Chain A
Amino acid sequence: MSVISVKGLRKHYGENEVLKGIDLDIEPGVIIGYIGPNGAGKSTTIKILTGIISDFEGEATVLGMDIRRLPVEVKRRIGYIPENAALYEVLTPMEYLGFVGRLHGLANEVIEKKSLDLLALFGLADKADQRMNAYSKGMRQKVLLISGLLHNPDIIFLDEPLSGLDANAVILVKEILAQLKKAGKTIFYSSHIMDVVEKLSDRIVLIHQGSVIADGSFETLKEQAHSGSLENIFTRLTGSGEQEGTAGAFIDILNG
């Protein structure tokens, strides 16, 4: 049984059609790498699947529930970590996590214990009671990660989760994702960083201009595109192979 099922998903902002009919079926316990160039519709897809955007065309079922009819039920069991570290900056991480935990109906003591322990694991124990407007982007991203996982969700949606993190934190997050998968969670992972996607994902979905143009394991994609790395596959399939020419023109202008 698939844990996420999408049929004919379309979405447009005014004239601008962002998604042009996406079909997806995702089994539980896998890591999906969802990649595509800027503006391909990655974030929009995730926002629809997490119930944030509700006006779209087509069908979307998450955990067997229609996302349009039961958004709150779905939200109870998924976690979402957005890319542009938006959180209430004037709060401290403990206050923020306490707030998020209460929205999920967790008991105060549980939230406090979990939050402190998780912050400590990320090396933020000494800053747990400092307001976040003084935080760096990486520190905020860590708080967002915790806030998305606090309620132990079944599916985790991540939108560029590694942006701003330092190398050690990247390794830690990758390891956490791998272990979450082992515990049977489904991970829907959207990113630009190709080598991370390549190593982490069981299945890669490549979208371009609102449509899926490749879907399969890394090996399948490699065969399809006859090239060695995900980066090469990406540039081939998204038809932006002119980088070499562009770079040449760039140098010419500098010399001019």
Chain B
Amino acid sequence: MEIIIMTLLRWSRPLFRGSGIDHDQVMAIVLVKLKMDKRRVYMNWRAGQQKKESNQLLRALFFYALMGLFMGSLIFAVDNYLTVMVFLHGYFLFMMSMTLITDFSAVLLDTTDNQVILPRPVSSRTLFVARLLHIMLYLLQFAVAISAGSWIFTFIRHGLVAGLVLMVTSLLTVLLAVFLTWFLYLSILRFASEQRLKDIITYFQIGMTVLFTLGFQVFPRMINMVDLQGSVSFGGWTYALPPVWMALANEAFASHIFDVLHLTMIGLALVVPLVGFWVLNRFLAPVFARKLSALQGSSGPDMPGADVDRPRQASASISSRLSPIFCTAGTERGSFETGWRITGRDKGFRMQFYPGLAYILVFFFIFVLRGKGDVMENWRGLPGTRNFLWLIYLPMMTISSGFTLASFNEHFNAAWIYHSSPLERPGELISGLAKTIIVKFFLPVWLILSAVNLWIWGIGVWDDVLFGFAANLFCYFCFVSISEHYLPFSRQPNVRQQSGRFAKTILQLLLVSALVGLHYLLVDHGVWLLTAVPVLALGTHLLIRRIRGLHWAAIKI
């Protein structure tokens, strides 16, 4: 890869002669940027599972290529050429925009460039050319990864011409994606601060992670479930959609139809991306750069745009109103409120925890709707099954991972504050955090799922829901109680592999399965379930007391 780029760059030397652009500098900048691309952490797969030293870019590209193969296989699965093409181009456009938003934003919004390169003797034209070259090379890698699968399958099934046309239209789609993304950034920057933009990007990144997860888990199953043999019908407004232009352009060459409609579409497919890219380079990019440097210049401590939370005098925050209900001592309350705030603001936590919530949805698909036959049939058959047990016990595993995640933080050093405070029972910190996770994440999710339960299976399952609630809480605090005790937000991320963790996960699984098994046996004996509730509640209460009373000796550092 690198060698190809190096030679290409070396060959391009004559092009720069006499243009006032320093070829050596362009090469130095492009190569250093490509090197940094490889070392950046990509959002393609669950963050945190990644090894530090491996080539992150290759890994990301590999996943994109794999997804691309899945999608490309549609070319064989679906007979209607036009439908497949619309679908694939929509996919290219979507994936490329998402990649640009999630991963390339780090490049676009990075102002280290200004501080590192601006003081050096590099003319602005040289820098511009270097940046443009880098962006083009970067995009090309992703474009190829995303669409290579489809190209190969098209060459095989529809021949040389169709394959070549697809290559052209997919690259045009990439250009369009670049234009759209930049446009999105500019419109956000127009109305929001840089901080806000970064927040929005974080949510896109979370969405992207969820999408990949869903994609790998659900998509292969969906192909069998949904009938994709139907064809897309075109109405007036669909002609405004870029994937439709691209698809019709493909069809024109594959089936040799060159009527007015197809020629117009070919025209649009060619002209819009190219003009868009030209406008981007000519007008939008400079505006973007100016906006960004203006943000930088004004981001002093007392400037608007810094993270400002609601004024203190305004009504008390949710966490401080909830904490007296769920917590007793001052320390526990403090830990509850702080935990509430940090889990809501810390990017690392959000990035790792929220996608986990999406797993609930994935498991819902897999477990609740599994079975032969089509989805609707399964859906109608649900009330006759005992699948509501899944819905009762699904959220716990995911949410209890939130408790473990919350012991990690980028600013783990700040935990010195606990050690320098005159705390007698640090267990209160742990119980406070444990309660935050329950109240903030478990309760809402569980309420929603219970509503779904009652809606599908009827009011008759209320005793199961109640038992499930008590059992879940009992399980959760058991888990907190048996896991190694770390103070909230006190551990350094990326040093996760500890021995003994596996054994504890197994223990947790056993406990959950025991309770689920008990529940399964007692499903038809509502009285027994209801008698068990106070027992579990008492157990939970004792567990919380034990956690709260933990001494320093029990705390791991």
- Give residues in A with beta carbon < 8 Å to B: 13-14, 39, 50-52, 72-73, 75-76, 80, 82, 84, 86-88, 90-91, 95, 99-100, 102-105, 131
CB contact list, B102-118 vs A, under 8 A: 112, 114-118
A91 touches B36 (CB 8 A): yes
- Counted as pairs of residues, one from A and one from B, with CB atoms less than 8 Å apart, the total is 64
- B120 interface residue (CB < 8 Å to A): yes
Q: Is the interface of A mostly helix, strand, loop or mixed?
A: loop
B122 touches A72 (CB 8 A): yes
B116 touches A87 (CB 8 A): yes
Minimum C-beta distance from B10 to chain A (A)? 14
A88-B32, A90-B36 known; A103-B118 Cβ under 8 A? no
**Distance in angstroms between the alpha carbons of A105 and B120 in the assembled complex:** 10
Chain A residues, Cβ within 8 Å of B36: 88, 90-91
**Known A39-B300, A103-B28, A105-B121; 12 more pairs at CB < 8 Å:** A14-B298, A72-B122, A82-B115, A82-B119, A84-B115, A86-B116, A87-B115, A88-B112, A90-B39, A91-B32, A99-B28, A103-B121
**Distance in angstroms between the alpha carbons of A91 and B115 in the assembled complex:** 15
Q: Among B27, B29, B35, B121, which residue has its beta carbon within 8 angstroms of that of A72?
A: B121
**Distance in angstroms between the alpha carbons of A252 and B117 in the assembled complex:** 50
- B546 interface residue (CB < 8 Å to A): no
- Of A13, A51, A99, chain B has the most CB atoms within 10 Å of the CB of A99
Chain A residues, Cβ within 8 Å of B118: 51-52
Chain B residues, Cβ within 8 Å of A105: 22, 24-25, 121
Chain B residues, Cβ within 8 Å of A50: 119
**Distance in angstroms between the alpha carbons of A198 and B25 in the assembled complex:** 40
- B373 interface residue (CB < 8 Å to A): no
**Distance in angstroms between the alpha carbons of A105 and B22 in the assembled complex:** 10
**Distance in angstroms between the alpha carbons of A72 and B120 in the assembled complex:** 8
**Distance in angstroms between the alpha carbons of A51 and B117 in the assembled complex:** 11
A75 touches B120 (CB 8 A): yes
CB contact list, B26-84 vs A, under 8 A: 27-29, 32, 35-36, 39-40
Minimum C-beta distance from B440 to chain A (A)? 32
Q: How large is the interface on B (under 10, 10 to 19, 20 to 34, 35 or more residues)?
A: 20 to 34
Q: Among A52, A72, A76, A87, which residue has its beta carbon within 8 angstroms of that of B112?
A: A87
- B381 interface residue (CB < 8 Å to A): no
- B264 interface residue (CB < 8 Å to A): no
Chain B residues, Cβ within 8 Å of A13: 297-298
- Of A82, A90, A131, chain B has the most CB atoms within 10 Å of the CB of A90
Chain A residues, Cβ within 8 Å of B39: 90, 131
B35 touches A73 (CB 8 A): no
**Distance in angstroms between the alpha carbons of A52 and B120 in the assembled complex:** 9
A14-B298, A39-B300, A90-B39 known; A103-B117 Cβ under 8 A? yes
CB contact list, B413-465 vs A, under 8 A: none
**Distance in angstroms between the alpha carbons of A104 and B122 in the assembled complex:** 8
**Distance in angstroms between the alpha carbons of A105 and B114 in the assembled complex:** 19
B32 touches A73 (CB 8 A): no
**Distance in angstroms between the alpha carbons of A72 and B300 in the assembled complex:** 28
B32 touches A95 (CB 8 A): yes
Minimum C-beta distance from A55 to chain B (A)? 10
A52-B118, A86-B115, A87-B116 known; A99-B32 Cβ under 8 A? yes
Minimum C-beta distance from B14 to chain A (A)? 19
- Of B25, B36, B119, B298, chain A has the most CB atoms within 10 Å of the CB of B119
- B229 interface residue (CB < 8 Å to A): no
Chain B residues, Cβ within 8 Å of A76: 121
A75-B121, A102-B25, A103-B28 known; A86-B112 Cβ under 8 A? yes
**Distance in angstroms between the alpha carbons of A102 and B28 in the assembled complex:** 6
**Distance in angstroms between the alpha carbons of A73 and B123 in the assembled complex:** 9
Q: Which 7 A-B pairs have the closest CB atoms?
A: A102-B28, A86-B115, A75-B121, A76-B121, A90-B39, A80-B119, A103-B120
Residues 187-224 of chain B, each 1 if its beta carbon lies under 8 Å from chain A, else 0: 00000000000000000000000000000000000000
Q: Quick one: closest A residue to B25, CB to CB? A: A103
Q: Quick one: closest A residue to B110, CB to CB? A: A88
Q: Quick one: closest B residue to A89, CB to CB? A: B112
A90 touches B40 (CB 8 A): yes
19 contacts between A and B (CB under 8 A): A51-B119, A52-B114, A52-B119, A72-B121, A72-B123, A75-B121, A82-B119, A86-B115, A86-B116, A87-B115, A88-B32, A88-B112, A91-B32, A91-B35, A99-B28, A100-B120, A103-B117, A103-B121, A131-B39
